[in-house]
Amino acid sequence: MPARRGSNDAAGGEVGVAPPVASERITVALIQKAGDDLKLLQERTQLSKTDLVNRAITLYEFIDAQQRNGRDLLVRDKATGETQALLIL
């Protein structure tokens, strides 16, 4: 996932790319930490709330599928080479 978009138009979308059509709309009440994290991600990535939520759901589905299929998810520190197993309950 790229951290930043390419060139943007005034509406905040990528130039020459039509926005995807929404297949479902939902309203979500975020806990304080999730709201704070969403704001930090918006500032860091310049992505919209919609983009971030769509990516989060897609990533969670991938992680859940991997764990259900008996795969380990690992996080490796590039600097030290330390590896840790990731388990999401």
> What confidence score (pLDDT) does residue 41 get?
97
Tokens representing 27? 């309203």
Tokens of 61: 């589905």
Task: Tell me if the pTM is above 0.75.
Answer: no
* Domain range summary for the chain, segments of one domain joined by +: 32-86
**DSSP state, residue 6:** S
Residue 83 has pLDDT above 50, yes or no: yes
**Helix H or strand E encompassing 37:** helix 32-45
CA dist., res. 70 & res. 39, Å (int): 34
pLDDT tens digits for 22-64? 789 999 999 999 999 999 999 999 999 999 999 999 999 999 9
Q: Which of the two residues, 3 and 22, has the higher pLDDT score?
A: 22
Q: Distance (Å, rounded) from C-alpha 3 to C-alpha 71?
A: 27
- Kind and range of the H or E element at 70? none
